[in-house]
Amino acid sequence: MTSSCSEPAVKRWHEADRESIARLLTSFALELVEVGIDRPIPGSFWGDDEAGLIGRRLYLRADTPLHSILHEAGHFICMDPSRRERLHTNAGGDYEEENAVCYLQILLADHVNGYSSAECMGDMDQWGYSFRLGSARAWFEGDAEDAHLWLRERDLGRPGQLNRGLDCSPKPALPRGQPTAAQPSDVDGR
């Protein structure tokens, strides 16, 4: 998705508490690299003002949407170390991982001063994310069990908790109500 045709009213890097974002993303071993407003963003899959990933560097500009920064950070957090080593522009992953990344970006928003999961979900809707139930909030609250489980199985969802090597390939679904081996985390507090 590109934003050159219209500028949705979403919170952007220049409006955000940069220190709290840097602190949060540094806890995941990500380095933020800001490029000039007139420069293309290296590693941006979508182009325009969308955040980009190359290795452990997350690239952004003053006009990069905060939800895009958190989304790309979510990809980095969720991928296994071998994918992280090869990371350049396309984070890859499958459908289940993409759902988990969307869920994680909403969780991460609550760790940014002056931003929240509610504002992130609104920004996702404004930007054009598409959810079966019609909105990010409806999906998060009523249809994201698979994303929640994906994160729990990998013990992800807390600041600083990277995927340390667990296989990211799709796993067979567990029967409803069966506990997972993962320890409780912020993911459980949705």
Q: How do residues 118-150 score in pLDDT, each as one tens digit?
A: 999 999 999 988 888 899 999 999 999 999 999
Surface-to-core class of residue 39, CB atoms within 10 Å of its CB (0-12 exposed, 13-18 middle, 19+ buried): exposed
54: CB partners within 8 A, 6+ apart: 42, 43, 87, 88, 89
- Distance CA(56)–CA(88), nearest Å, equals 10
pLDDT at 70: 97
**This prediction's pTM:** 0.81
pLDDT at 161: 59
Surface-to-core class of residue 101, CB atoms within 10 Å of its CB (0-12 exposed, 13-18 middle, 19+ buried): buried
**Which of 18 and 187 is assigned the larger pLDDT?**
18
pLDDT above 90 covers a percentage of the chain that reads: 61
- Distance CA(25)–CA(176), nearest Å, equals 33
Assess contact for 158 and 190: CB atoms under 8 A: no
User: In the structure encoding, which two tokens stand for residue 27, read together?
Assistant: 């806890």
Find the helix or strand (DSSP H, E) in which 145 lies: helix 145-153
pLDDT beyond 50 at 154: yes
